[in-house]
Amino acid sequence: MYQRFFAFILTFALATQAYGEIKLPSLVVDDLNGRTINLPAELPGNPTIVFIAFKQNQQPLINAWVDRLGLLAQGGLYWVELPVVGRGAALIRSVIDNGMRSGITSTAMRARTLTVYSNRRSFNSAMGIADMSRVYVALVDRDGTVRTMVSGAVTEGKVDKLRAAYKG
22: CB partners within 8 A, 6+ apart? 126, 127, 128, 145, 146, 149
Q: Could you report the per-residue pLDDT of 74-116, keeping only the tens digit for each?
A: 888 999 999 999 887 777 888 888 788 888 889 999 999 999 9
Q: Could you report the per-residue pLDDT of 79-89, keeping only the tens digit for each?
A: 999 999 988 77
Name the pairing type of β-strands 114-115 and 79-83. unpaired
Residue 8 has pLDDT above 70, yes or no: no
CA distance 134 to 93: 23
- The pTM of the full predicted model, rounded to 2 decimals, is 0.84
Domain boundaries, the chain: 22-167
Measuring CA to CA, which residue among 82, 66, 87 is closest to residue 32?
A: 82
Residue 1 has pLDDT above 60, yes or no: no
CATH superfamily of the 22-167 domain: Glutaredoxin (3.40.30.10)
